Amino acid sequence: MAAREYFEQAAASITVLDKEEIKKRLKNFKGRFNLDFTEDYLNNASLERLRHILLAALITAKGRS
């Protein structure tokens, strides 16, 4: 149940972020793996796609800790 609660909390917190904040978090992501996106990709990707990437990164990193 803790994993589901983490997912729901992470998803809810990401939903309220604007594109600039999500880009910042993706560029500064601290996890067991690196995220490497070009500025061009981040600028051209939709807000929903960036939210999805950030949520996936958070969940994946959490599952490995």
Map out the domains of the chain as residue ranges.
Answer: 2-64
Distance between CA atoms of residues 62 and 21, nearest Å: 20
Q: What is the mean pLDDT of residues 16-36?
A: 94
In this prediction the pTM is 0.84
Break the chain down into helix, strand, coil percent, rounded to 5.
Answer: 70, 0, 30
Opening angle at CA 8, ends 5 and 24, nearest 5: 120
Size of the chain, expressed as the number of residues it contains: 65
- Averaged pLDDT score across all residues of the chain: 90
Distance between CA atoms of residues 48 and 65, nearest Å: 26
Give the pLDDT of residue 3.
73
**At 48, is the pLDDT very low, low, confident or very high (cuts 50, 70, 90)?**
very high
Give the pLDDT of residue 65.
47
pLDDT at 40 over 70: yes
List all residues 6 or more positions away from 6 whose beta carbon is below 8 Å from its beta carbon: 59, 62
pLDDT at 25 over 60: yes
